[in-house]
Structure 1
């Protein structure tokens, strides 16, 4: 069985379309169809069924998907282990949105130079969802907020940033006392169920402040835009640039003892992709205080 044909089949199933799979692979739809047909001949069963321009796996195809993903990853790991010179392999990495825009672009530019043969798949998501995918090995690693509990011993953690809470306010409030603004202005709350949002709860309780809440969401960029439009104030971590273009937005510092959101990389200890993950860690840098 040719692993390239198996990988093509898995991509076709994931895309649900020969044309879309072809774009992802950089080949023609006819070449994709030929690879799938060759795989079907190899296993002696029909693996996909076509309905117009869409395709979906047959029962045999579904069974192959479950085992095929493991085979493709094992082949990738083998190539990585025996390769000479430039590292080769594949990493599936998740990241929260602020890391996707603020941390990863510069790091990946360096990674492309040091490991041009590395194939990277990026998956956005919330910290709890990404953490669960790392635990289930659906992702090799993820850049996320540290969980509000001790990590399982099977997982490793490397801090990348510690981001202090700051108060976002409209430019007309620049120079005001942040605590007074929290008590008097409409409050946009960083979702209290999110791991970063729990730090906001901690700070408010410690400061004995009951804000005038009226919007709660887990979307930091959107909160910045709302504050810029004069909808209220918000407590958020000082995430890395770029930020939304908000000419009326100001960031007011809190006291030095205010909580900090720790962002880092989490992965399984003893993974066969440890060498590739170390390359990623190297370009992500060290803790910024």
Structure 2
């Protein structure tokens, strides 16, 4: 039995369709269907049934999938153990989008130079999605916000950045009071289902500010671009990204101190990919140290 076929079966189930699973691994839906059919012939049971445009596991499929997750994870760990003494293997990184568009590319540049034979797989998601993926063993490290709950002892955390919440405004409004801007100007809200968006919403409530809401978005990059175009102001974490360095925006500190948004790296202490994870952390620290020694200009 091909373990890769089992892994792709799990991807079909988790994504809800063969087409989406095929897109993620870069093959045709027909190829994925053939793999599933090969598993069904070998096991002698039907694993999936179609329900509209999606697929769902049969009763037998549920039983197979429950065992398959462990088998796929154990096989992946076996490969990692075999390669632990080598600067090779596979590192599966989950990351929030803002980190992927800011810090992570520089970290991966250093990582690729230090571990040229390592294979890196990257997936983006929200912090909670990445934490759950780490628990399932789908990723080895998560670049995410620190969870709002106490971490189990099996996990370790390495802080990368603390980002204060600031008012983002067009440069022409830089001399205005932050609270006045939030109360007066059209407001572009950061998604309240995300950590930084929740912090911003809590601040507005505590300050008794009811903004004139224009949009609500889950992309800090898109928000910065809209502020640059003069569409309004926003209340967001002070991110550092080369993609927004040339935008014509001002970042105004809040008059009332608030908790910053903290993001870092989360991983399982017992991971068999310990050497690669330590290498990734070292590369991240090197990038941050280079930033501290750099010109000091902070991008929005």
Matched, 1:161 2:161: yes
Counterparts in 2 of 1:119 and 1:66: CA distance versus 1, 3 Å: farther
**Paired residues for 1:218-257 under 5 Å:** 218-219=217-218, 220-243=220-243, 247-253=247-253
Matched, 1:195 2:195: yes
C-alpha separation in 1, matches of 2:203 and 2:53: 54
C-alpha separation in 2, matches of 1:185 and 1:29: 52
Q: Give the TM-score of the pair, scaled to structure 2.
A: 0.73
Counterparts in 2 of 1:6 and 1:90: CA distance versus 1, 3 Å: farther
Alignment correspondent of 1:89: 90
Counterparts in 2 of 1:18 and 1:241: CA distance versus 1, 3 Å: closer
Counterparts in 2 of 1:11 and 1:186: CA distance versus 1, 3 Å: closer
Counterparts in 2 of 1:188 and 1:9: CA distance versus 1, 3 Å: closer
**Paired residues for 1:38-53 under 5 Å:** 38-48=38-48
Task: Give the CA deviation at 1:137.
Answer: 4.7
C-alpha separation in 2, matches of 1:194 and 1:65: 31
Q: Is the 8 A contact 1:182 1:209 kept in 2?
A: no
C-alpha separation in 1, matches of 2:162 and 2:2: 46
C-alpha separation in 1, matches of 2:56 and 2:29: 19
Q: Is the 8 A contact 1:19 1:29 kept in 2?
A: no
C-alpha separation in 1, matches of 2:222 and 2:23: 35
Alignment correspondent of 1:174: 174
Q: Give the TM-score of the pair, scaled to structure 1.
A: 0.75
C-alpha separation in 1, matches of 2:23 and 2:134: 28
Alignment correspondent of 1:122: 123
**Paired residues for 1:14-93 under 5 Å:** 16-17=17-18, 21=22, 24=25, 29=30, 33=34, 35-36=35-36, 38-48=38-48, 57-83=57-83, 84-91=85-92, 93=93
Q: Is the 8 A contact 2:91 2:140 kept in 1?
A: no
Deviates more, 1:65-74 or 1:4-13: 4-13
Structure 2 unmatched ranges of 5 or more: 293-300
Matched, 1:217 2:190: no
Alignment correspondent of 2:99: 99
C-alpha separation in 2, matches of 1:169 and 1:191: 18
C-alpha separation in 2, matches of 1:262 and 1:6: 36
Task: Give the CA deviation at 1:179.
Answer: 4.7
Deviates more, 1:184-193 or 1:79-88: 184-193
Q: CA RMSD in A?
A: 4.0
Which SS does the other structure have where 1:88 is aligned?
A: strand
Alignment correspondent of 1:6: 6
C-alpha separation in 2, matches of 1:51 and 1:258: 48
Q: Is the 8 A contact 1:147 1:195 kept in 2?
A: no
